[in-house]
Amino acid sequence: MAKTRYVPDRGLTNRMVLTMFLIGLLYVVFTGVLIAAFGKAWPLIVVMVGGLFAAQFWFSDRIAAFSMGAREVTPEQAPELHGAVDRLCALADMPKPRVAIADTDVPNAFATGRSQRKSLVCATTGLLRRLEPDELEGVLAHELSHVAHRDVAVMTIAAFLGVLAGLITRMALWTGLFGRGGRNNQNIFLLLIPLISALVYVISFLLTRLLSRYRELSADRAGALLTGRPSALASALTKVSGQMARIPTRDLRQAEPFNAFFFAPALSSGASLSRLLSSHPTLEQRLDRLAKLSGQLGR
């Protein structure tokens, strides 16, 4: 990755390499199964898988921004947000990403993009209304660390495999792309493809969750070290997590599919998810890490 003043994280790098290796292996296995199942239609499968992967890689930032309702804003439209991003990019010695705002009361932020020069950072109107300037900078520093460490690109690619598995399965069942073998073979494929797709989706889901939890702790640490104010980030975390319970359930459910990319999960305080399925560490764990980091900086 391009050098920045963000603290490197060897643990994060090793996890990203392992995740990409396993995801690549899943791609190969899944494509191989589809080729074997579809017989003469294998060129179409190769083109489809390759085309969807290329589109996801090259247009991931625009796809994510559109899905989450983000719109790019100019410095004249959002001077405070642009000013905070300008200061942090200068401090981190990294290119400035595109800046966007999502019109939703859910207080959150996210970053996306395949590289530092093709990235986008977005804050919601709910976040901008609730945070003080130093808290907002803490959140943005957290999000920009995802861009600097390139883990946002890995997460985008990893998450896409599950989407691909479901999409190809539906297309196969709907359009009858199976080989023209006997009826028994077709029935076997009708049962086998959804089962394999479900397995691929589960493995992809677990891999992204394991990487997501670690990368959030890494971004907390890197962002807090860059600004030198872990307490500001801790305050923003506490405020955002506390406000989630006041957001209408319908809005939280709309944001929930993108939790792995958000600064804080869009879940009410009463929601109960197992640790295995959570996209983020617990609030207590994040605050504890930031408190320890604050103590270290104080000494």
Check: CB of residue 200 under 8 Å from CB of residue 264.
no
What's the DSSP call for residue 8? P
Check: CB of residue 204 under 8 Å from CB of residue 159.
yes
β pairing state of 119-124 and 98-102: parallel
Annotated binding-site residue? 142: yes
Annotated binding-site residue? 146: yes
CA 95 and chain centroid, separation: 20
Q: Nearest CA to 144 among 202, 94, 75, 71?
A: 94
> Any catalytic annotation for residue 72?
no
Q: At what angle do helices 133-149 and 151-175 cross, to 10 degrees?
A: 70
Give the active site residue among 72, 132, 137, 143: 143
Distance CA 68, CA 83 (A): 23
What's the DSSP call for residue 262? B
Angle at 100 between CA 97 and CA 84, to 5 degrees: 65
Q: Nearest CA to 262 among 69, 84, 41?
A: 69
Within 8 A by CB and 6+ apart from 248, the residues are: none
With left for phi above 0 and alpha for psi between -120 and 50, is residue 233 left, alpha or beta? alpha
Annotated binding-site residue? 149: no
Distance CA 140, CA 133 (A): 10
> From the annotation, which residues make up the binding site for Zn(2+)?
142, 146, 216
Residues identified as active-site = 143
